[in-house]
Structure 1
Amino acid sequence: MSLSENLFYFLSFLAIFSALMVVFAKNPIHSVLYLILVFFALTGHYILLNAQFLAIVNIIVYAGAIMVLFLFVIMFLNLKKEGDISAKSVFVKVAGVVSGGLLLLVMIASLKSLEPYQLKADIKTDIGLVENLGKVLYNDFLLPFELASILFLAAMVGAVMLGKRESGERNF
């Protein structure tokens, strides 16, 4: 087995284990931390697939910004309250087990229908690089890119103007 295969299996095990720990962890902050670990494992998979742009965006957007927001929401809600077990929570657990079992059944059925995957010899190694994305973005899609930047600039100016208070009004 090569190094990339070993790394793939390690990252896959890490992603699956961390995803299970997201579901089974009692503390919601631990669940968020395990979810960040899942995102890092997926970033490793993107790097193995030679998709550096997706890997960088995954780290910045998901593991960075969204997980920080999740942590803030969990800390803001203060989930320290202990609740009693009611019929509603038992129903939710049973519904979760049934839906999870049905999802597992669908996944097993879909895996049985797949043919064995075979690698082709003419794989391009430069697919997914940021350089290629920049060439396509600035050559083929220059006008929509510039229009989107003007739209974002107008939105920022509008947000500043809406947020700006009149100069005669004072905050105490």
Structure 2
Amino acid sequence: MITLFYILSAITIATALLTILSKNPIHSAIYLVLCFFSIAGHYFMFDADFLGIVHIIVYSGAIMILMLFTIMLMNLNKEDEQHKPILSRVAAAGAAGLLGLVLLATFIKSQPVINGYEASGKDFQSIKVLGQVLLNEYMVPFEFASVLLLVSMIGAVLLSKKEHINS
């Protein structure tokens, strides 16, 4: 079981790096799908079957299809892309490095919130309990996620809309 975890972790890290470092946006999207599948494998390993299936359906299915359509509709060509000056590249790398240091310091300094773990006896893997928790305690974040998906869909439609020039 531990070797499977290490294999999935290596696949996740490798595909995440390939997503970032790939020059072709279509290849980046494919690597991201592979990364999502390996993360779903982690969920299955931890007996979170419902979460793994939802992760595959939502992320690997719906969101990646939207991203691929957006990439294809934007018609990204290397000839049209302007080369960024070296100063902006250095600034972006510096900002990413600073963000990484802040995240690393946060993880090092963080303390666990729960000192002890007590089993409540509830099965949080059941869809009925998960639905009650999701639609009672976490209703607002659930609605924010649905509004975010709606806005991204509207944005994709607006990006694909071509302007007609009357001559």
TM-score (norm 2): 0.65
Paired position in structure 2 for 1:47: 44
The percent of aligned pairs where both chains have the same amino acid is 42
The alpha-carbon deviation at position 111 of structure 1 amounts to 3.4
Identify which of 6, 16, 41 aligns with 1:9. Answer: 6
**Do the aligned residues in 2 keep the contact of 1:50 with 1:125 (CA within 8 Å)?**
no
Q: Is 2:56 aligned against 1:28? A: no
**1: CA distance between counterparts of 2:14 and 2:120?**
31
Q: Is residue 106 from structure 1 mapped to residue 102 from structure 2 by the alignment?
A: yes
CA RMSD of aligned residues (A): 3.2
Superposition pairs for residues 121-160 of structure 1, below 5 Å? 126-130=123-127, 132-133=129-130, 136=132
| 1:123 shift after superposition | 9.6
Contact 1:18–1:34 at 8 Å: present in 2 too?
A: yes
* CA deviation after TM superposition for structure 1 residue 95, in Å: 2.5
1:51 and 1:16, CA in 2 relative to 1: closer, same or farther beyond 3 A?
Answer: same
Q: Which runs of 4 or more aligned residues in structure 1 lie more than 4 Å from their structure 2 counterparts after TM superposition?
A: 118-126
Q: Distance in 2 between matches of 1:21 and 1:76?
A: 23
**Structure 1 residue 49: Cα displacement:** 2.1
1:34-73 aligned at under 5 Å gives the runs: 34-73=31-70
Task: Report the AA paired with residue 22 of structure 2.
Answer: A
What do the CA deviations read for 1:77-128 (whole angstroms, capped 9, x no partner)? 22124234243xx343223211221122123323333569x99696979443
Give unmatched runs, 5+ long, in structure 1. 149-172
**CA distance 1:42–1:97, change in 2 (3 Å):** same
- Structure 1 length as normaliser, TM-score? 0.63
Distance 1:21 1:7 in 2: 21
2:83 is aligned with 1:85? yes
Aligned pairs, number: 135
Structure 2 CA distance for partners of 1:123 and 1:100, relative to 1, 3 Å: farther
Q: 2:37 corresponds to which letter in structure 1?
A: F
Distance 1:124 1:17 in 2: 38
Paired position in structure 1 for 2:152: none
Indicate if the aligned counterparts of 1:43 and 1:58 stay in contact, CA closer than 8 A. Answer: yes
For structure 2, list consecutive stretches of 5 or more residues without a partner in the other structure: 144-167
Q: 1:59 to 1:41 in 2, by over 3 A?
A: same
